Structure 1
């Protein structure tokens, strides 16, 4: 945590800050955490930590993970994070980078962040071509059949990924959608090794896409940067040729965080 964060020893975290510090710690870890981990991290009594986590869950700031024991960010905490990263000065800088990429590549450029059930489009700059595929800001798209979603899934720990693939129905959006968990897991390993993901008409027939990760200072995926285009204008191979430009822009976006 930040150097100026409160010292997490019993009695050194003011009562009115304990819930905030707990939420900060959950957000910092970036994965679902169990109460025992928070007891150790915060140095507070077990009943206190359980009460704080139950309160945060009841108010929507935390929610139970798939195993029913660990807690991750809830809808209100995710919305708070979204509101912060959407602040005007940050958004202006992001849009400047996205516009530069969209103009250079000539196709729609998207910035997406993971949510509980899919990827959310945080920002986008449309291509100037009249033939385009409309996915407005705020749209939620599936994990398993989109370039941005598969990029996110590839960043998960194996145990977490296995649980996600078991819990989420892999519905076919097109005839090209992969609905076999084992086959998808194999593709995600390839994505993890090569550092980018693709969508070959798997989400929308006639659309191809490529995505790269935007990572934080701890090398964790915090967003994805992608471009998509209709196959009448670009092939998937055409889009992968743009990877150096996308990766450069992803680094510039990471520096804004």
Structure 2
């Protein structure tokens, strides 16, 4: 005798809504909302004021939030970074990639980065900065959309095309600059080209003055784990020069990282 199937709309008894609200409160703080009142927190986190007050009080007692004595507004504390740092410390891909990225920056004299996927975004998890001017500062933890960036396209190009297309179609395809590609068919064509060449490019589609070239890091089962990219500012490079001079070194680095990751099992 088998158990009857649960209705599709049955509540998930293991799901902790209080934890969900607490994380929503932490996630509500950002560069545009550096400090907030209880009412601000409630609105930003999408919860009622009573819940916001309980969450903020608890997070303050745990040391993740603090209240300014004069303004009575709340802000994050450095304790929040502990969770993110623990992820970085436990990520073996970062350990494997770091020496290769350091050498890549040394060889090319340009900034090299490792990004990993999170839904329809890529997250910066490692970065070796060039001594030359870089027009856009992207710290560890910064997030960029997949559809209009070289690292995102490199990652998507290593996925099965139907899976990649589903991610592109579900993305909020905003035109960040006059160069941004937002049409699904156009983006999918860039992925097909990236799959053929082994690398993807982005020419001022996210930020003006910023070009990047990226290649996927692939695991032993053929799935992409992330992507590495080189920053090539338009003040120093043309798109053709970027591909011709940076592409070979980038591909060699991506393959070396992928091989080392597979060796770990």
Distance 1:81 1:139 in 2: 12
The structure with the largest alpha-carbon Rg is: 2
TM-score (ref. length: structure 1): 0.65
The 4+ residue runs of structure 1 with deviation greater than 4 A are: 44-48, 54-60, 80-85, 88-93
Q: Do 2:177 and 2:204's aligned partners in 1 also have CA atoms closer than 8 Å?
A: yes
CA distance 1:46–1:197, shift in 2 (3 Å): farther
Distance 2:163 2:93 in 1: 31
Distance 1:251 1:227 in 2: 15
Residue 142 of structure 2 corresponds to residue 134 of structure 1: no
Q: CA deviation at 1:117?
A: 3.1
Q: Please name the residue that 1:96 is paired with.
A: 99
Q: Please name the residue that 1:4 is paired with.
A: none
Secondary structure of the residue aligned to 2:232 is: strand
Secondary structure of the residue aligned to 2:193 is: helix
CA distance 1:93–1:187, shift in 2 (3 Å): closer
Residue 256 of structure 2 corresponds to residue 252 of structure 1: yes
Q: Please name the residue that 1:108 is paired with.
A: 111
Q: CA deviation at 1:165?
A: 2.8
CA distance 1:164–1:58, shift in 2 (3 Å): farther
1:242 to 246, 252, 255: 246
TM-score (ref. length: structure 2): 0.63
Gaps of 5+ in 2: 20-82
1:189 to 175, 188, 192: 192
Gaps of 5+ in 1: 1-43, 61-79
Residue 173 of structure 2 corresponds to residue 170 of structure 1: yes
Q: Please name the residue that 2:212 is paired with.
A: 209
Aligned residue pairs total 193
Q: Please name the residue that 1:71 is paired with.
A: none
Distance 1:230 1:125 in 2: 15
Residue 198 of structure 2 corresponds to residue 200 of structure 1: no
CA distance 1:101–1:168, shift in 2 (3 Å): same
CA distance 1:179–1:211, shift in 2 (3 Å): same
Q: Deviations over 1:101-136 (max 9, x none)?
A: 001001000100110130001101000114442111
2:223 to 220, 225, 243: 220
Q: Deviations over 1:38-75 (max 9, x none)?
A: xxxxxx98969x9xxx5676689xxxxxxxxxxxxxxx
Structure 1 segment 70-81 matched on structure 2, within 5 A? none
Q: Do 2:105 and 2:111's aligned partners in 1 also have CA atoms closer than 8 Å?
A: yes
Aligned-pair RMSD on alpha carbons? 3.1
